[in-house]
């Protein structure tokens, strides 16, 4: 699994949509000590949940080797989904407890495969509550959504 590293790695993620669905943006910040890298993107038509998932996926995909990381998200959908619901979804053939297909299943599968590579701890943080990492990616995700809205 993940090799040990000298300093902990923190990843802050966020997604945003202008309308839901609508133009969407995502952003992720990977921090290790004083080193910080930011990733961002978006698309013309998305849901907020898709952008939240994509932020986490893109951050984990950016890691060059298996690592232990803590992902901070203000999305209960992402945190609860990957930390708990996903095991039942997989056992039920990617169906919910109500026997309906899981929404965003391809994104969930991508995220799940990345969690098999990395040792990931998931932490929910309250949005708009002064967490510097969360505040930064929130702003960047919104600006990405706005960029895609203006391009339409």
Which residue in the list 14, 24, 41, 118 is annotated as catalytic? 14
CA distance 128 to 92: 35
CA distance 20 to 11: 25
Which residue in the list 15, 24, 42, 81 is annotated as catalytic? 15
Which residue in the list 12, 24, 118, 138 is annotated as catalytic? 138
**Would residue 119 show up in a list of annotated catalytic residues for this protein?**
no
Structure tokens at 134: 């969360």
**Would residue 12 show up in a list of annotated catalytic residues for this protein?**
no
Structure tokens at 54: 């994509």
**Would residue 24 show up in a list of annotated catalytic residues for this protein?**
no
**Would residue 128 show up in a list of annotated catalytic residues for this protein?**
yes
- CB count within 10 Å of CB 41 equals 18
Which residue in the list 25, 74, 81, 118 is annotated as catalytic? 74
Which residue in the list 12, 25, 52, 81 is annotated as catalytic? 52
Residues annotated as part of the active site: 14-15, 52, 74, 128, 138
């Amino acid at each position: 699994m993940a090799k040990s590293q000298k300093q902990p790695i923190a990843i802050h993620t966020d997604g945003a949509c202008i309308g839901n669905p609508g133009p969407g943006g995502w952003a992720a910040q990977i921090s290790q000590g004083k080193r910080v890298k930011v990733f961002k993107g978006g698309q013309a038509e998305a849901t907020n949940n898709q952008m939240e998932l994509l932020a986490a996926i893109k951050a984990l995909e950016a890691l060059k080797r298996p690592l232990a990381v803590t992902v901070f998200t203000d999305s209960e959908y992402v945190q609860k989904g990957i930390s708990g619901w996903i095991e039942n979804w997989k056992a039920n053939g990617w169906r919910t407890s109500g026997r309906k297909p899981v929404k965003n299943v391809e994104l969930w599968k991508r995220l799940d495969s990345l969690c098999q590579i990395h040792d990931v701890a998931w932490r929910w943080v309250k949005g708009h509550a002064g967490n510097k990492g969360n505040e930064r990616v929130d702003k960047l995700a919104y600006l990405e959504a706005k960029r895609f809205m203006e391009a339409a």
